[in-house]
């Protein structure tokens, strides 16, 4: 005679499996890895500041972003890039990468330009209305301190504004200008691979330090 399991006995059998599945879901949610959304500004027809067709803000910050990603991933940091080639990406597409991320940083890389070729400087901008203003300020401060230590002769500035690329983000976010395209020393820092690696290393060290705090 074959016994047909009752609903009660089936529930007893399935209950441990259901509980295990719930625990797995909870673990995956709480153990979301720290993630850096790395935004190389501009791209495609939008060149940003440019000296001529081959020396543009868009290309130089992309090369820096790629170097940062390589070094950061070697340190176990998850990195998502808003673009990996010279193409146009909308603000909405860039910011969409941050959706669903609860532990991370949105870092948008840019260059400045000036009529004076002598002008230099590192600038961090945070959105004055973002919900993570305190955390974003801490990130911006750390980046500038590291850059100032790396290059003491270059002035630094931090300010609040309302850049669209940083609006409506749920994680800390920083717009970072890593020099002046119009200045030969700043430009060389990004054009020569070994110098670019050193600049990337400085920024990655901040990522590693802040991730562990």
DSSP assignment letter at 49: S
> What mean pLDDT comes out for the span 84-89?
97
> What mean pLDDT comes out for the span 194-199?
98
Band of pLDDT at residue 75, cut at 50, 70 and 90: very high
Distance CA 149, CA 125 (A): 19
- Domains defined for the chain, CATH in brackets: 34-211 (3.40.630.40)
pLDDT value at residue 11: 44
Q: What is the pTM of this model?
A: 0.85
pLDDT value at residue 30: 55
Distance CA 35, CA 72 (A): 10
DSSP assignment letter at 2: P
pLDDT value at residue 27: 37
Q: Are the C-beta atoms of 173 and 132 separated by less than 8 Å?
A: yes
β-bridge mates for residue 52, sequence order: 55
Q: Which of 12-16, 60-64, 96-100, 103-107 has the lowest mean pLDDT?
A: 12-16
Q: Are the C-beta atoms of 82 and 110 separated by less than 8 Å?
A: no
Band of pLDDT at residue 7, cut at 50, 70 and 90: low
Which helix (DSSP H) or strand (DSSP E) does residue 25 occupy? helix 7-30
Q: What φ, ψ does residue 189 adopt, rounded to 5°?
A: -55, -30
Three-state DSSP at 128 gives coil
Question: Does residue 183 have a pLDDT over 50?
Answer: yes
Q: Which tokens in the block code for residue 122? A: 């590192």
Q: Which tokens in the block code for residue 123? A: 């600038």
Distance CA 41, CA 108 (A): 6
Band of pLDDT at residue 141, cut at 50, 70 and 90: very high
Mean pLDDT taken over the chain: 90
pLDDT value at residue 31: 72
Band of pLDDT at residue 29, cut at 50, 70 and 90: very low
pLDDT value at residue 152: 97
């Amino acid at each position: 005679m074959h016994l047909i399991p009752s609903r009660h006995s089936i529930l007893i059998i399935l209950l441990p499996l259901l509980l295990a599945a719930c625990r797995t879901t909870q673990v995956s949610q709480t153990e979301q890895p720290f993630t850096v959304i790395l935004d190389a500004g501009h791209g495609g027809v939008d060149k940003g500041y440019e000296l001529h067709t081959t020396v543009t803000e868009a290309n130089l910050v992309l090369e820096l972003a790629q170097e940062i990603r390589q070094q950061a991933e070697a340190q176990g940091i998850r990195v998502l890039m808003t673009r990996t080639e010279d193409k146009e990406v909308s603000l909405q597409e860039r910011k969409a990468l941050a959706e669903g991320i609860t532990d991370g940083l949105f870092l948008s890389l840019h260059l400045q330009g000036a009529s004076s070729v002598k002008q230099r400087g590192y600038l961090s901008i945070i959105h004055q209305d973002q919900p993570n203003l305190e955390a974003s300020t801490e990130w911006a401060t750390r980046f500038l301190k590291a850059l100032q230590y790396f290059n003491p002769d270059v002035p630094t500035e931090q300010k609040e504004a309302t850049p669209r690329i940083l609006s409506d983000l749920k994680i800390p976010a920083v717009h970072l200008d890593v020099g002046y395209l119009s200045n030969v020393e700043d430009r060389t820092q990004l054009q020569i691979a070994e110098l670019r690696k050193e600049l990337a290393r400085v920024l990655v060290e901040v990522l590693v330090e802040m991730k562990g705090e």
